[in-house]
Amino acid sequence: MASFASFKKTDAALRRLSFIGLSGALAALALTGCSAVPYESGTAVRVDAAQADGTQKKKEEPKPIPITMPSEYALRGDGIYYFNDNAVSNFRITDAIAENGLYSVEEYFRFGTPHGFTWGAGAASILRNGRQLDAEKIIGVSVEKDHHLVLHYKGETAQRPMRLNVEIEAFDMSGLPIGPYLKTRMNRSTPSGFLIGGKYAFPEGSIGYRARMWVDEDVVIVPTKTAFTGSGTIEDFSKRFSKEIPYCLRFVPAKDAKPMGVLFEKPIEKKYEKVKGKRVEKGQSGEAQLMRVKTGTIFCAKDETAEKGEALGKLDWTLRYVNGSRVLEFSFPENLKSDNFGVLKSHRDALRVAFAEERSKNRTKLLPARIWLKNKPILDFQWRFNKRAADAIQDAIHETADLRREWDAKHGTATRVKAPEKAVKVAPAKSAKSTRSSAKRAQK
């Protein structure tokens, strides 16, 4: 039996009510680092060794076959399954009828691991009014007239939730190799995907899902919890990197990666103007120099060995407010490869590199960020699956466990003992009377 955490919605927060204990079988699974989501073993189709090694002549690589299906159907019944390497999570709608326009949802996932749907190409938090909000604290799901989904997340107030539009595309995966479809959100193979490769295939009845997502307003995304700039404000940041030392931008790792740095021509200074008799901050724009930088160094430094004829040019910057957060937004020359400043080519029109000021505990700090532009769709490269396909994936992970142990030993990535899996059930806000009744039933 999976462990279960029941949450109820209050005006202030989602409050934990109770936990149901683990059974011995589940505890054993949790201690070995395996998935605690039950699955049917023996479902992965073993592929002939010669065929998996590619020694036989291959025909044209088969591809997933599109299936016409309303997005909400994917979340009904067993729901959809998502794999963060070898850790599985499950997301589903639990109610047949929406309450106040929202369907209740339930998620099974390991605390501290990515799950469900993501913002942009991945988000640790969303910044509103200079404050970080949980990018995974979902309230419920609504279905629009055109059948696309809207995922509602807890915002600053109950009246202003965060909304993520999602359109789910379904594909028949029957007979396809499992490994190539275990990808990260940045379209890179996971260790599990690499080790499974073409050794196992999806059985009949397997369905894979791709999520196409967009937002109704510009959104400030904080990609990771650990990223920092060492500066408190945009002005401090521009002053610190306007002399000799550039700021190194994040980049997508690749053999041909050419990371770059930014150097401001002069520090940015805050400016004001009067609007309807009130003194308000004035928006600004300008340019900054781009240059090649060294890799493998502790501190950012210019790459003096770069070809002198290789001109990177300048980027345009804009200082503005997005959802109450003060941000510095970058726009790069079209001739530059977007992977070299941390944005996938397919996401270039939707995501902007930015830096945003967070206000926390009476102090301000500047965070690396992304701005997701409104009505600019992003295709999530991480596949999701129905139960039939997910069973086969978990079976293949189990069958390649010895290979995984060798991999972990070689790369120093031995899996630590993970916390037991939890099920988080979230229901839309109800009246005070019905909420108390739900709490009482949960405690029983």
> What is residue 311's predicted lDDT score, i.e. its pLDDT?
58
Mean pLDDT of 330-353: 94
Amino acid 213: pLDDT: 96
pLDDT in tens, 176-229: 999 999 999 888 899 999 999 999 999 999 999 999 999 999 999 999 888 889
Give residue 19's pLDDT.
26
Q: Is pLDDT of 142 > 70?
A: yes
Kindly state the helix (H) or strand (E) to which residue 357 belongs, with its residue range.
strand 351-360
Contact (CB, 8 A) for 426 and 105: yes
The answer to whether the CB of 119 falls within 8 A of the CB of 314 is no
Question: Model confidence over 226-240: pLDDT tens digits?
Answer: 888 999 999 999 999
Residue 393: name the closest of 114, 122, 78, 180 by CA.
Answer: 180
Residue 310 has pLDDT above 70, yes or no: no
Residues 114, 248, 313: CA angle, nearest 5 degrees: 120
Around 31, how many Cα atoms within 13 Å sit in the side-chain half-sphere? 7
Percent with pLDDT over 90 in the chain? 59
- Weakest-pLDDT range from 155-169, 189-203, 244-258: 244-258
What is the mean pLDDT of the segment spanning 384-391? 97
**CB neighbour list of residue 425: distance below 8 Å, 6 or more residues apart:** 4, 5, 6, 7, 94, 104, 105, 106, 107
Which of 156, 173, 242 lies closest to 392, judged by CA?
173
Q: Is the pLDDT assigned to residue 415 strictly greater than 90?
A: no
- 41-95 tens-digit pLDDT: 777 888 865 455 554 555 667 899 999 999 999 999 999 999 999 999 999 999 8
The predicted model gives 250-261 an average pLDDT of 86
Structure tokens at 425: 């059930």
Amino acid symbol at 413: T
Give this prediction's pTM: 0.81
Q: What is the Cα–Cα distance from 304 to 291, expressed in whole angstroms?
A: 10
| CB-based burial label for 327 (10 Å; 0-12, 13-18, 19+) | buried
Q: What is the pLDDT of residue 46?
A: 86
| Beta-carbon count within 10 A of 143 CB | 18
The four Cα atoms 415, 417, 418, 420 give a dihedral, to 10 degrees, of 140
More confident residue, 51 or 118: 118
At residue 113, the pLDDT reads 78
pLDDT(431) > 60: no
Residue 28 has pLDDT above 50, yes or no: no
Identify the pLDDT of residue 418. 43
CA–CA separation, 400 and 415 (whole Å): 15
**What's the pLDDT at 183?**
93
Confidence of residue 444 (pLDDT cuts 50, 70, 90): very low
Residue 197's pLDDT is 95
When the pLDDT of each residue in the chain is averaged and rounded to a whole number, the result is 82
Residue of higher predicted confidence among 167 and 52: 167
Tokens representing residue 305 in the block: 């060995």
C-alpha angle 397-401-407 in degrees, rounded to nearest 5: 110
216 contact partners, CB below 8 Å, separation of at least 6: 163, 165, 374, 375
Buried b (16+ CB within 10 A) or exposed e, 78-103: ebbbbbbbbbbbbbbbeeeeeeeebb
Most confident range, picked from 28-37, 252-261, 387-396: 387-396
Q: Once rounded to an integer, what is the mean pLDDT over residues 128-134?
A: 94
Residue 5 has pLDDT above 60, yes or no: no
- Cα–Cα distance measured from residue 12 to residue 172, given in angstroms and rounded to the nearest whole number: 43
Q: What one-character DSSP code corresponds to residue 360?
A: E
Q: Kindly state the tokens that stand for 67.
A: 């299936």
Residue 401 confidence class, pLDDT cut points 50, 70, 90: very high
Better-scored residue on pLDDT, 266 or 243: 266
pLDDT at 2 over 70: no
Give the residue-averaged pLDDT of 122-134. Answer: 93
Q: Answer yes or no: is pLDDT of 117 > 60.
A: yes
Q: Nearest 10 degrees: CA dihedral of 358, 360, 362, 368?
A: -30
pLDDT of residue 38: 67
How is 159-210 classified by DSSP, letter by letter? TS-EEEEEEEEEEE-TT-BSGGG-B-TTS-B-HHHHHHTTSEEPPTT-EEEE
Mean pLDDT of 418-431: 48
Q: Which two tokens stand for residue 98?
A: 């929406």
Confidence at 298, pLDDT banded by 50, 70, 90: low
pLDDT above 80 for 337: yes
